[in-house]
Structure 1
Amino acid sequence: MLNKPLKVFWLSAEAAPLAKVGGLGDVAGSLPKALHKAGIDIRLALPYYGSIKTPAKLLLKGLRMSIAKKSIVFDVYLTTLPGTKIPVYLIKHPLFRDLEVYAKIDALKHFSLWAKASLTLITALGFIPDILHLHDWPAALATCFLPEFKEDYPAVFAGTKVLYTIHNLANQGYDKKNNLNPMIEGIRRADYINTVSPTYAREILTKKYGVRLEKILLKRRQNLVGILNGIDTDLFNPKNDSNIKYNYSVKNLVGKTKNKLALQAELGLAVDKQKPLLAFVARLSWQKGIELFSDSLFDNLIIKYDAQFIFLGDGDSKYKKYLSKFVRKYPRNIKVFFKLDLSLAQKLYAASDFFLMPSQFEPCGLTQMMAMRYGSLPIVHSVGGLKDTVNSSVGYSFKNYTAVDLSKTIGKALKDFSSNPVVIQKKRQNAMKKNFSWQSAARQYFKLYQKMVK
């Protein structure tokens, strides 16, 4: 089997730029490209959300299946991942018409239909997958239907192995009405399980990070691995990024300073390269450590260093109110933008001196890698993928999840900024030289695929 190209059928509820809510969309829009370059025949299936605007052609009309003894008819449209020849099959059904990605009600119903339709599609394509690569709880539902397909279509699925990738263990998709936890089904039924960083793979075996699934995961630990995500290093590249005003490289950082001054002026901050500029780009949720930012933290750092803070993200109204009170107190030093804005995010990576990521937990994290590409030094809580990507040579980290520890760590960084420019320059150069491309992850997935099909 290994003499032939590996065939992988990929199921994820997101894939940028077709449909994206968070980091899963970035992964699904990038990793398949690297796997394809490695010689893998990889194909993706997504629900045909009403929000998808990418042109697609009708491939198959009127495919039939049943769920809970109810007949279901759906169509399949074909497009490709932009810039590639990788097929993306869009499952069209009225259930997905009004969805952007995740349904607020009946999510289990929506994704069950997509999961079984995807397996039905495979039989219609004549595609015989070596690997069914499933991502997070929506795709885990495919494992509930797979035994039926293995029995009915042995020529297609008899040799198919399942890799289940956990991007965030906290999002389990539990359905109270049906008493079904898709995450548990994926963990129990998959041949192999992986998380998106080595440290997170170890953390979820503990009560602290296991989200009540640590006992189930401990039973599967021999088939659990961690593979660090990457980023699109072509998209996130200060040498040619069209979103930033001045391009630059690790060999010449003058452009970074110019970007800082330009953004300060644009956002109404004091224009001064000596004032430290710190950026935060994330969903506004309980995971991201927003509650660690306190009055005393801002009082100390603004009074002592005249530090400037910019927060970008959308999410929970509770955290919008929380951050807004600091803006009212320090309007000259703190700016907030409650939206998702890729262009502004990249301006922040390019302009900021430091990048704040005090997450309570972080399966991998992508934005710290993006920030480092632009020479913004990460200040992180040392957990999960943050621990795997940030050390003292490229940034700053703290172990205890407290407001005091975050404040002390930022204080150390700002002290270096004000009195040790050589240290900052060296860290900045080290950060920009780090290789976070998808090629490394693709090699590890390729090896895991091969191990699974032997």
Structure 2
Amino acid sequence: MKVLYIAAECKPFSKTGGVGDVAGELPVALKQQGVDIEIVTPWYGSITLPGADIPFNGRAERAGIVTTDVKGVPVNFIRNSAYFETDYSRGLVRPPFENPDLFKKDYSRPYVDSGKIPFYDDALRFSFFSEACLELIRRKKPDVVHINDWVLGYLFGYMALEKMPQKRVLTIHNIGYQGNIGRESIKGWNIERIAKHKSVGKLFADPRPKWKSVNALRLAMELADQVNTVSPTYKREMTEAENPARYFEGGKGLEKVSQRLDDAGKLHGILNGFEYKSDPTDAAFEKLIAEKSKTKKSLSRGFAKPKGLLLGFVGRAVEQKFKLLKESLDGKCVLEHILEIPNVNIALVATGMKEYEDFLHGFVGRSNFSATLEFAPGKAQEISLGADVFLMPSLFEPCGITQMESLSCATPPLVRWTGGLVDTVKPHTDPKGTGFGFDGRTAREVLENLVQAVKAAERMYREQPEKFLDMQKRGFKQRFLWSTAAKEYVAKLYRSR
């Protein structure tokens, strides 16, 4: 079985989020299961490569192709200076952009947004990339073409139009990103032929008619032979409607498509794996706890009560991660309520949206709060290791990797019961508990239960240190392996009919 695994990012070459981790780790595990697999990803650097001329939007674009490997898995880079290297694509010269110089963006990284039309830049870049992938498919002749997220959805449209025989597999890492773009914005593009096709074009239309847009993720879902997402619980959530009244994201308008796929046995939830740095032995745990104690002392030096419970957070300052902390509860934001709990300290590293960075900056100077609002990988590692509890009050979490990392550091996570967090963290009330959690049937319940979960963590840490240590040990020894995930990919996605 020969598989082409196609992703917009792949570590160690490019990475902005979970897709890069998965693309750099899963194919290695699949190869170990006997799958003949190759990775395809854009080249975001500048080297001279052999390649092919790709007809695109009325002209020929040069696509260079080079191969290297990740732990023995071949990696095919597709290079084009206009779409993956320059300040802005030549495509922006066309209408609707009267002065493209106003929208210059760095195209040498995976995802960009000029701010003019949502998804415009990446729709342009990755529709070209999808055309270039067609050439690789013709040359490589794989049995399976496996794509990741909406940016590669156009490829399945092209394959359907050309009646290519390969099995089509889609992995959805976040159903909230769908590549919606107005039909008027793609006039003259190659993907317009997908939209105009009598049957395939209907699958390209956004399911919300009033939007008058195309939807690349829906196209990929409809044309895929098998679809998976990155945890069993997130798969279920994708089939349910959004409910803002209790901070529930759901299928974001694609829940009916998801439900139809699930009913047909074509939608699967396969939990991501994690690359562990140590073996789950008692000796390794004891060594880690000693390192953890030293690191916590270093992190807590500026706090008024350095021996209190240390909550840690590492991640992006975005709505998904911080909305619940910013919400008002009885006249104060939730973060304020948490900081008022006796013997609770917070240390975090976060960078992202100005709204949330400004929100966090407002707490700097408190005797129990420390924030690093810039990219600081060294500090982030310190917090993951030195914190007593890792805070993850996410609106949604398709799988999540930071809770797996915190568990491996003997740092119990405190999570919202959503998505992959449900599948990886057991509640502290369970005899096999590995962390703390919260949710609710209403918005108020969600916020109140978040504060109560922090109180429960502080209480166990202070009153039941041996029980807390046992929980740390269980989390440290827990394993979410890529080899397990790879077996499911082969059985459920590649070999299934």
2:470 partner amino acid: K
- Secondary structure at the counterpart of residue 140 of structure 1: helix
Contact 1:206-1:214 within 8 A present in 2 as well = yes
For the pair 1:229 / 2:272, whether they are aligned, the reply is yes
1:97 counterpart residue number:
85
1:215 counterpart residue number:
256
1:172 partner amino acid: Q
For the pair 1:257 / 2:293, whether they are aligned, the reply is yes
1:285 counterpart residue number:
318
1:12 counterpart residue number:
7
Contact 1:103-1:110 within 8 A present in 2 as well = no
- What pairs with 1:153-232 in structure 2 (closer than 5 Å)? 157-158=164-165, 160-176=166-182, 177-178=185-186, 179-208=213-242, 209-221=250-262, 222=264, 223-232=266-275
Contact 2:272-2:482 within 8 A present in 1 as well = yes
Contact 1:135-1:167 within 8 A present in 2 as well = yes
Q: Structure 1: state its 5+ residue gaps.
A: 1-5, 151-156, 240-247
User: Shift of the alpha carbon at 1:365?
Assistant: 0.7
Of the structure 1 ranges 299-308 and 178-187, higher mean CA displacement relative to structure 2 is found in 299-308
CA 1:380–1:290 in 2, change beyond 3 Å: closer, same or farther?
A: same
What is the aligned counterpart of 2:138 among 110, 123, 126?
123
For the pair 1:309 / 2:346, whether they are aligned, the reply is yes
1:260 partner amino acid: K
- Secondary structure at the counterpart of residue 250 of structure 1: helix
TM-score, length-scaled by structure 2: 0.79
TM-score, length-scaled by structure 1: 0.86
- Secondary structure at the counterpart of residue 175 of structure 1: strand
For the pair 1:342 / 2:377, whether they are aligned, the reply is yes
What is the aligned counterpart of 1:276 among 279, 299, 309?
309
Q: Distance in 2 between matches of 1:129 and 1:298?
A: 51
What is the aligned counterpart of 1:32 among 27, 30, 38?
27
User: Shift of the alpha carbon at 1:325?
Assistant: 0.9
Same amino acid, percent of matched pairs:
31
Contact 2:127-2:154 within 8 A present in 1 as well = yes
Contact 1:46-1:91 within 8 A present in 2 as well = yes
CA 1:450–1:89 in 2, change beyond 3 Å: closer, same or farther?
A: closer
User: Shift of the alpha carbon at 1:20?
Assistant: 0.7
1:405 counterpart residue number:
449
- What pairs with 1:430-449 in structure 2 (closer than 5 Å)? 430-449=474-493
User: Shift of the alpha carbon at 1:297?
Assistant: 4.7
- What pairs with 1:327-338 in structure 2 (closer than 5 Å)? 327-328=364-365, 330=366, 332-338=367-373
Contact 1:284-1:290 within 8 A present in 2 as well = no
- CA RMSD of superposed structures (Å): 2.3
1:343 partner amino acid: G
Q: Distance in 2 between matches of 1:349 and 1:230?
A: 18
Q: Distance in 1 between matches of 2:339 and 2:159?
A: 57
Q: Distance in 2 between matches of 1:12 and 1:25?
A: 8
User: Shift of the alpha carbon at 1:445?
Assistant: 0.7
Show CA shifts across 1:320-339 (max 9, x none). 011111224x1x21111223
Q: Distance in 2 between matches of 1:423 and 1:171?
A: 41
2:468 counterpart residue number:
424
2:198 counterpart residue number:
none
Q: Distance in 2 between matches of 1:271 and 1:408?
A: 21
Contact 1:261-1:271 within 8 A present in 2 as well = no
For the pair 1:379 / 2:414, whether they are aligned, the reply is yes
User: Shift of the alpha carbon at 1:296?
Assistant: 6.1
Q: Structure 2: state its 5+ residue gaps.
A: 87-106, 115-120, 187-212, 243-249, 428-432
User: Shift of the alpha carbon at 1:142?
Assistant: 0.8
Q: Distance in 1 between matches of 2:477 and 2:485?
A: 17
Contact 2:324-2:393 within 8 A present in 1 as well = no
Contact 2:272-2:485 within 8 A present in 1 as well = yes
2:127 partner amino acid: S
- Secondary structure at the counterpart of residue 363 of structure 1: coil
User: Shift of the alpha carbon at 1:181?
Assistant: 1.0
Q: Distance in 2 between matches of 1:78 and 1:444?
A: 27
Contact 1:227-1:441 within 8 A present in 2 as well = yes
User: Shift of the alpha carbon at 1:359?
Assistant: 0.6
CA 1:35–1:270 in 2, change beyond 3 Å: closer, same or farther?
A: farther
CA 1:148–1:65 in 2, change beyond 3 Å: closer, same or farther?
A: farther
